[in-house]
Structure 1
């Protein structure tokens, strides 16, 4: 597992920020996985977050660790229709199988492209490499 993904997962729930025109929107996410060395997020295409990511693929998210430090990651997302990738994601996150199927026409997978992550602890800032 990459150091960046490990750092994201350590936070458990993280908060994804998107934009709808000039209006910001933030919501909790918990599912993030690495497949073939790439980091992926998922959602359903009936949700506003899906429409926002399609319209503006720039993304930033943050999570808080138990010790009070936090992580912030920014980048872009790229949607994929790869059915094998969707199947693999659902294997890794079986709880999502209760609401999605790889071929249901609703389940969407986004690759996190060129992510940059930082961990903040008081006045210390550490860039997360790979």
Structure 2
């Protein structure tokens, strides 16, 4: 999991895919991640469609590129409503504090479970990471 976290950090911008209410895939750029209590977290706003989609259909996919390699990750997104998890995410990603505050009723942090990540390149066999 730590390797996936570092990969996402190095990528800067990575892409999260969800499924909307019509079963259509939706992809958007993200760039905030954190490890809290041994779990990989991502963050968004509860008012956003992406949060509603993850709550209705928790299976997500993440993709990003860094250092000539790419990441493909499939996981289940689980909402963690604890203020401590929100604070940890905001402290790790201070740029989010311009838009979000722990306990504001909008900040949503999701941890990824049952995750399988592949770090791939054109020259090496994929590295598989499960967490």
TM-score, structure 1 length as denominator? 0.92
- Would you say how many aligned residue pairs link Structure 1 and Structure 2? 129
CA RMSD of aligned residues (A): 1.5
CA deviations over 1:65-105 (Å, ceiling 9, x no partner):
242x2111111011011011111211111111110010111
The corresponding residue for 1:35 is: 36
Structure 1: give runs of 5+ residues left out of the alignment: none
TM-score, structure 2 length as denominator? 0.91
Structure 2: give runs of 5+ residues left out of the alignment: none
The corresponding residue for 2:15 is: 15
Question: Are the equivalent residues in 2 in contact too, given 1:39–1:111 (CA < 8 A)?
Answer: yes
Rounded Cα–Cα distance in structure 2 between residues aligned with 1:35 and 1:74:
19
SS of match in other structure, 1:90? helix
- Residue correspondence of structure 1 range 1-130 to structure 2 within 5 A: 2-20=2-20, 21-67=22-68, 69-122=69-122, 124-128=125-129
CA deviations over 1:27-84 (Å, ceiling 9, x no partner):
00000110121100110011110110011000101001242x2111111011011011
